[in-house]
A and B are shown apart, each in its own frame.
Chain A
Amino acid sequence: MTLEVLLVEDSPGDVRLTREAFRDAKTNINLHVATDGVAAMAFLRHEGDHSQAPRPDFILLDLNLPKMDGREVLAHIKEDDDLKTIPTIILTTSEAEVDILKSYQLQANCYINKPVQLEAFEAIVKSVNYFWATTAKLPPRANGG
């Protein structure tokens, strides 16, 4: 079964790297990208161009985003009765303790540092795929589609 994943990331380099990593890992994932927080919320709420957007099985969310940053996006998701069941994984370069703490307080499901080395990054993507796509049981796609 193909998993729908929303990657919220403004850096095209990182988007491509993530895409490549998922591809190299030979995962069965359909990656959707939102390049800022506003676009992410629009995608999740099927607004505007995203009326046909699928409900993601999980979300990879960067913290530093234009317009609406990742913390706000996380807060909106977790305040939304419909969206809050979607596992949201913070994927960021920030190692700051305040960011980690704040994210978990906003009920992030997981906090991952983007590693500097390519291999490490690929390993992370693999392990994310391994854990969220195959190990973890995800909530049913109640309103999926």
Chain B
Amino acid sequence: MIRFLTKRTVQFAFGAAIAILLIVAGFAYRSIVISGENGRWVQHTHEVLENLQDMQFALETVSSSIRGYVLTGEETYLDPYRAARVSLEQHTAAVGELTSDNPAQRENMLALERLAAGRMGRADEIIDLRRNQGPSAASEALRVGPGLRVGVEYRAVIGRMQDEERRLLALRLADAQRSTSQIKITLILGTFVGLLITVAAGLSVQRDNSRRETAEGALQESERKYRMLVDGVKDYAILMLGPQGEIRSWNPGAERMTGCTWEEVAGQNFSRFFSADDVNLGRPGEILRKTAESGQYEEQGMRVRKDGTRYQIRTTFTASRDPAGNLRGFSVISRDLTENKESETKYRGLLEAAPDAMVVVNQGGEIVLLNVQAEKQFGYRRDELLGQKVTNIIPIGFAERLIADDLRSTEDASAQQIGTGIELIAERKDGSEFPIEIMLSPLQSPEGTLVTAAIRDISVRKAAETHLSQMEGRYRGLLEAAPDAMVVVNQGGEIVLLNVQAEKQFGYRRDELLGQKVTNIIPIGFAERLIADDLRSTEDASAQQIGTGIELIAERKDGSEFPIEIMLSPLQSPEGTLVTAAIRDISVRKAAAVVLLQKVDELNRSNEELGQFAYIASHDLQEPLRMVASYTQLLSRRYKGKLDADADEFIAFAVDGASRMQRLIQDLLAYSRVGTKGRELLETSSEDALQQALTNLRGAIEESSAVVTHDPLPPVMADDMQLTQLFQNLVGNAIKYQKSGVPRVHISAARNGGKQWDFAVKDNGLGIDPQYFERIFGMFQRLHKRDEFAGTGIGLAICKKIVERHGGHIWVESKQGQGSTFRFALAGSQAKS
């Protein structure tokens, strides 16, 4: 419940408590007043009672004094009488005053006064009697006098008055007691309630206080954290300024940025960080004014460090106002733009990756940044160039341009492309000069506008141009007259010259190729060869003919490829050995070669098919022919002489025709088998092959009594079956074509100088007319009538085919009538020779 007490409730509670306590105080006051009254009343009563007693005492004293005087007559006894009489008057007056407010007592007093007056009057009479008449008269007066009765009455009245006073006192005391107990209860209750409320309010206040304390703690904590944060920020300067710009606090970032210590700047105006120019222009004040107007203001500008160096910062000013809207001060957050390390790394990477030399120059013409290509191109180390005047490396035209650029707009400068760059002369560390193309572009930086220069060494291009102009007269015509594309390349693989055919062939304009790498048009094989060419002598290179050129793949501008044949030859020039390349587009020749290969393939296939056909045809023809031959022979055998002479003759022709046809077909089969059934060429003993042939010819040899001799024969690479057939045909012919007498055949072999063996089959036969030397190796070619020598005209064709299949050739040497020598060459065995 307490926690819900609002501040207003607490205020009300305190008010209530105070009110209650005031009431309680009132009651307390009243009780004091009452108890004071009571005291007075008690005292009043006691005074009344005392005076009443004193009155009674005084009256009795009067009585006793009178009696004493009467008895003795001595005047001394009258002294108490006189004192008592005064005292009685005094006390009576006092009581009269004390009881004046009480009518009943007043009446009693009047009675008392009356009694007292009567007594006194009597007393005076008695005294006079004593003095004047003596003791007896006086005593008699005493005795008869009403003195005793008056005294009794007096005492009774006094008693009544005393009782009245006591009664009144008791009444008043009861009254006082009642009101006192009421006051007591009120006091207790009021005090209790007041205390309760006070405690409640107090608790509430205490809670409120503890809450406030917590909040204050949190505030302190957050302030501490904020402070830590602010102090931890190194890359930003954070300042708090007063309304006039006086520095109230700052962080280490600010210290780092400005180079000042806190002691140096505390309380000072922040304009101390501005340049004198800015201060003169009233820049700091303007900033504060703008900030105050708009609440926040962003500004990018130059500041000055303690050491005088300038730096570029971006700053956010924020006005700080109290709840009433009064300007309390400004917060200032600044970032040093010069220190952007990360982006610097990036830019550096970019810079280093650039293919050209890159140099960044400030307005003072000093080099502030450069890349490795710049180091290489100018031959300096980086530290030798940094801070140096750019005129050291580009003496003329660059520094001047920096000033000129100031007059141009940034847009104009940015529009400047490398292709439209300025051509200048650069100077290397070693003093040598080289032509450059330079492209400038402005670069905004904290140090002001810098100028980035991309510098390209165009000496190759320049040299090419120079070379071209030099060569123009001498070689131009020659070059352009060449039917092939001609390209002259330096040792760096860069094209320094080309003719119109080269332009056409590669699809580039001349200026697009000059100075470019030759790999752009001949990606593989040319540039590598330039290096290889370094190792070869000029003579070797010169010896290279276009006919024996290298076949490579070239690439046109449009990316299409085409085959080329290239012939390189060295060309001495002032720039060193250049290489002239004659480039011939051989796509047509290549295509033709492909077509030719296809044709050869087709021809081979068709030949093979033909061979197969011949074999199959002759084989299948054999079957029906066998029937014809067999049955005509059977007919001839069984019916010869049983029919007429004509029938015998007819049957004889049929038998002969069938037989000849059988031989023809068998020879044709043998011929076609050379191509289709040939076996692998293996090392074969030619002597064994000859022996086999002689065995096969045994019948013919015996019949003709031929003498066949031979020299030792070498092993050769051959199909043994075919070699046997070759010997068999040649020896068979040697025996067959004889006039008369004993056929003599000699077989020999001799090395023919190379790896081949020349075989010779020499006979003593008819001989051959030289005009038939070629013809006899043709198909179906015969030199004799059928009735002279049987034969199909295929035997030597088979021989030729066999020899050719073995990679050799066959020919004949002969004189008519002096025998013939058939010669053929075969490859010798590789193992032995």
Contact = CB atoms under 8 A, between A and B. Distances in A.
B27 to A, nearest CB: 147
Given A116-B662, A118-B633, A118-B634, A13 B622 contact: no
Interface stretch (B331-339, B354-362, B463-471, B624-632): B624-632
B631 A13 contact: yes
A82 interface: no
B652 to A, nearest CB: 15
Contacts, number: 31
Contact of A116 (B626, B631, B634): B626
Contacts of A14: 627
B634 A13 contact: no
Given A20-B634, A93-B622, A118 B629 contact: yes
B629 A117 contact: yes
Interface string A21-34: 00000000000000
A13 B624 CA distance: 9
Nearest to B626: A116
Nearest to A16: B631
A116 B623 CA distance: 8
Interface string B389-414: 00000000000000000000000000
Contacts of B625: 116
A13 B627 contact: yes
Nearest to B634: A118
B516 interface: no
Nearest to A17: B630
A71 interface: no
Contacts of A111: none
Given A116-B662, A116-B666, A93 B630 contact: no
A114 interface: yes
B630 A121 contact: yes
Interface in A8-67: 11, 13-14, 17, 20
Interface string B327-364: 00000000000000000000000000000000000000
Interface in B620-646: 622-623, 625-627, 629-631, 633-634, 637
Place the interface of chain B in its size category: 10 to 19
A116 B633 contact: no
Main secondary structure of the interface of B (DSSP, over half): helix
A65 B637 CA distance: 30
Contacts of B623: 11, 93
A116 B627 contact: no
A82 B637 CA distance: 43
Contacts of A17: 630-631, 634
Interface string A106-128: 00000000101111010000000
Contact of A114 (B626, B631, B637, B666): B626
Nearest to B632: A118
Contacts of B637: 118
Nearest to B633: A118
Main secondary structure of the interface of A (DSSP, over half): helix
Nearest to A93: B623
B657 to A, nearest CB: 14
Nearest to B666: A116
Contacts of B629: 116-118
Contacts of A117: 629-630, 633, 662
A20 B630 CA distance: 11
Contacts of A20: 634
A28 B630 CA distance: 23
Contacts of B630: 13, 17, 117-118, 121
Contacts of B633: 117-119
Interface in B462-498: none
Interface string B639-682: 00000000000000000000000100010000000000000000
Contacts of A121: 630
A119 to B, nearest CB: 8
- Residue of A17, A114, A118 with most partner-chain B CB within 10 A: A118
- Residue of B626, B627, B666 with most partner-chain A CB within 10 A: B626
Contacts of B627: 11, 13-14
Contacts of A11: 623, 627
A42 B233 CA distance: 113
- Residue of B625, B626, B630, B637 with most partner-chain A CB within 10 A: B630
Nearest to B623: A93
A116 B663 CA distance: 10
Interface in B588-640: 622-623, 625-627, 629-631, 633-634, 637
Contacts of B666: 116
A64 to B, nearest CB: 9
Interface in A82-116: 93, 114, 116
B634 A93 contact: no
A11 B622 CA distance: 14
Nearest to B625: A116
Contacts of A118: 629-630, 633-634, 637
B679 to A, nearest CB: 10
A14 B624 CA distance: 10
B82 to A, nearest CB: 198
Contacts of A116: 622, 625-626, 629, 662, 666
B622 to A, nearest CB: 7
A70 to B, nearest CB: 15
A119 B625 CA distance: 15
A10 to B, nearest CB: 11
A4 to B, nearest CB: 26
Interface in B189-228: none
Nearest to A121: B630
A127 B757 CA distance: 44
Contacts of A93: 622-623, 626
A117 B662 CA distance: 9
Nearest to B628: A13
Contacts of B662: 116-117
B628 to A, nearest CB: 9
Nearest to A97: B677
A132 B623 CA distance: 26
A20 B662 CA distance: 22
A13 B629 CA distance: 12
A11 B624 CA distance: 10
Contacts of B626: 93, 114, 116
A121 B630 CA distance: 9
B65 to A, nearest CB: 198
B620 to A, nearest CB: 10
- Residue of A14, A116, A121 with most partner-chain B CB within 10 A: A116
A34 B627 CA distance: 19
A116 B633 CA distance: 12
A57 to B, nearest CB: 26
A13 B666 CA distance: 21
A126 to B, nearest CB: 15
B265 to A, nearest CB: 112
Nearest to A114: B626
A13 B625 CA distance: 11
7 contacts: A13-B627, A17-B631, A93-B622, A93-B623, A116-B625, A117-B662, A118-B634
Given A116-B622, A118-B634, A118-B637, 5 more contacts: A11-B623, A13-B630, A17-B630, A114-B626, A121-B630
Closest 6 interchain pairs by CB? A118-B633, A118-B630, A13-B627, A116-B626, A116-B662, A17-B630
